[in-house]
Chains A and B, each alone.
Chain A
Amino acid sequence: MSMLAAQHGAINLGQGFPNFDGPEFVKEAAVQAIRDGKNQYARGSGVPDLSCAIAERFKKETGLVVDPEKEITVTTGCTEAIAATMLGLINPAEEVILFAPYYDSYSATLSMAGAKVKCITLHPPDFSVPIEELKSTMSKETRAILINTPHNPTGKMFSPEEPNAIASLCIENDVLVFSDEVYDKLAFDMDHVSIASLPGMFERTVTMNSLGKTFSLTGWKIGWAIAPPHLTWGVRQAHAFLTSASTNPMQWAAAEALRAPDSYFVELKRDYKAKRDILVEALKDVGFRVFPPSGTYFVIVDHTPLGLENDVAFCEYVIKEVGVAAIPTIVFYMNPEEGKNLVRFTFCKDEGTLRSAVERMKKKLKRK
């Protein structure tokens, strides 16, 4: 879709990365680290100062005290945290529960680990977790469940009841939780809750996050996994052979970033919330059935009111005829049929770009 978008000069609201850059103070820290000669292998599990900064922030946000030496692993982006968690903790043929739609690397790395995947679909309009279905799917045979909140692609955030229900089922069945929380700073309508902070959960949870989304530096590839020592050990073993270590200078810069004052995070949320509102209002106006996101920088819409056959056809039409790119949600589902009515837009773009895109859509897509 990106190539098609480029060919047609379409405004790309498909790809999930910003067209604006990260904050100066973080970039300067990276430049300084390069000049200071921090260009050789970092310790495999992460530069100690970054591990400390991650622990400090995690304590601030969840109240949990973790040991940076034993319970934090720095990875090459959250994507690698996921891969290392799957490969380090899942044996072939072990059962893992996944919610669809999902970030497409989940299914790929589960497949590399040889896992048996049990997929539960979240449905519009709320994309709420079907607790009864979860109860009947989870058993003592289940090794782990993978959750992502705030959620890509729907922008859903787990309501307070949902993590509680998941937690009690996991405790009952002795199941691990792999929690992808990369969008935790982009939580607009409610507070983000890390499932690891619920009673009985830290000992069975791997909490994953990264620098990229929070600091608009998606190409730096600094992520991490926080887990109790016995789970961290598995993550580290896999990480050791997957990439062996993450980029050294960026780790030093990441430590600076995570120690940013609260005002940074407040402003980040405010900016993204405003962008969300611009896009959601416009998409409603154009005639989509919109499912407003509570978090992330994505919004999912049902495109069928505009009369096209399926998500892929719709996206191609909008690129060519309107000059705006979204992405079909087909890649986020195990069963492609399930996503055909839905497409994902992103609002991680500067306001000017968003307004241009909105104008194009209102002009050419809106039913008169």
Chain B
Amino acid sequence: MEVKLSRAAKKITSSSIQELSHLSQRCNAINLAEGFPDFPASPHIKNAAVSAINSDFNQYRHVQGLCDHVAKMAKEMHGLDIDPLTDVAICCGQSEAFAAAIFATIDPGDEVILFDPSYETYEACVTMVGGVPISSTAFYVVLCHFCFWDPIMALHIHVPLDPPQWTLDPSKLLRSFTDRTKAIVLNSPQNPTGKVFTKKELEIIAGECCRQNCLALTDEVYEHITYDNLKHISLASFPGMQERTVITSSLSKSFSVTGWRVGWAIAPAFLADAIRNIHVKVTDSAPAPFQEAALTALRSPPEYFESLRRDYQSKRDYMIKLLAEVGFKIDFIPQGSFFIFAELPDNCPLLDVDFVKKLILEAGVVAVPGQGFFNTNLPSTEGSNLSCFYQKRYIRFAFCKSDATLTMAAERLCKLLDAEGHLVLH
């Protein structure tokens, strides 16, 4: 009966994040793996949801006010003029907004450029519709000529961001475009690195998109979580970009309600329309009471967002200090999101997955091995083995946890240090 599975389903394996989460549950480990808070959401937002349920906002609904607020926010943050009647599609989380955007734009055989590392779901989405997730490396040209090219198969290559600062090398980006390139996916602030793409980098990406006449699909869920007074800039705000960009985002991270499943896509009317139509066929409507509560959330005063940033920044600083003391290499300080992408100490011979398993078993702390965020299907040549080794040396720590949790994590991690203060794993 296994033959009954679709080709696409067979290609996608279950999330390593979720598997380690199960092991960590069995070991009662402190979860610094999954990217959701263990502290409560703000009372004003929860009250709004409770009120909506009690006021009978419980049937299929489209809450136009939510579109109005999303449009207003886009204007305030990025200067974008969005028509709330036509340019916004409410979806069940950013997940569905992104999936619908992919279905709305990508055909089998289309190429989609992804950055490396990146959140693993983008690639899975593209694969599901038979698109080809693409990156460029020095080997790309070789592959094109000598590999068997099945457009339905996913030949995973990504535009690698250069460690340790995760900088964008424009030449690598340029090389990744072909006449089959349909779209580029940009997540900023980024999971897992915490990188916030600079204005210059965004200009380069925007310039190429316009020159190559392709679409941009952005994931901006961490838009309100940036540090050191850095502002998140939306790719759509660059010249020529609004007409070709789908912005996806949600309530989840900004309001600590990852389980409510309310998100949106902002796009030019023809695209938003297509996304909306797909959303209606896939889920019909986003959860009604939470659409209502979203109105309250999006009306939160500037003080709410300032305090969100401030709290997360102090958690970031605490975690960086802790991880550095424990021996991790933190060459890149996260500028946004609530993740730290820490490199294993040079004297630790383990690869990321084995390290994390030991971390769970010996320290009772779980984090995510970084390799799942990199594409690993490069051809096995000597050069590629060396240059890709770094992909198995990073660990992603989430710090969207209460101070008590982070303090306990610190105590447990410090137990792993020897007399000299070096990390010891048996």
Contact = CB atoms under 8 A, between A and B. Distances in A.
Nearest to B45: A39
Dominant secondary structure of chain B at its interface with chain A = loop
Question: In this complex, which of A39, A204, A217 has the most chain B Cβ atoms within 10 angstroms of its Cβ?
Answer: A39
Contacts of B258: 39-41
A230 B36 contact: no
A80 B5 contact: no
A64 interface: no
Contact of B261 (A203, A233, A240, A247): A247
Interface string B80-112: 000000000000110110010001000010000
A83 to B, nearest CB: 5
Contacts of B58: 21-22, 27, 216-220
B99 A105 contact: no
A198 interface: no
Contacts of A108: 278, 281
Given A34-B50, A220-B287, A234-B5, A79 B261 contact: no
Interface string A241-252: 111111111100
Interface residues of A, number: 65
Contacts of A217: 58-59
B292 to A, nearest CB: 10
Contact of B93 (A40, A216, A236, A243): A243
B37 interface: yes
Nearest to A348: B59
Interface stretch (B8-16, B70-78, B365-373): B8-16
A99 interface: no
A244 B258 CA distance: 11
Contact of B6 (A91, A204, A228, A246): A91
Question: In this complex, which of B8, B14, B40 has the most chain A Cβ atoms within 10 angstroms of its Cβ?
Answer: B8
B93 A219 contact: no
Question: In this complex, which of A43, A143, A250 has the most chain B Cβ atoms within 10 angstroms of its Cβ?
Answer: A250
A125 B57 CA distance: 37
Interface string B32-50: 0010111011000010011
B8 A87 contact: yes
Given A80-B282, A221-B284, A241-B95, A248 B260 contact: yes
B282 A79 contact: yes
B12 A247 contact: no
Interface string B286-322: 1111100000000000000000000000000000000
A112 B103 contact: yes
B384 interface: no
B307 to A, nearest CB: 18
B54 A27 contact: yes
A83 B282 contact: yes
Nearest to B18: A44
A228 B5 CA distance: 12
8 contacts: A34-B46, A44-B18, A87-B6, A176-B4, A217-B59, A219-B57, A219-B59, A245-B259
The 5 lowest CB-CB distance pairs between A and B, nearest first, are A219-B288, A248-B259, A108-B281, A234-B9, A237-B9
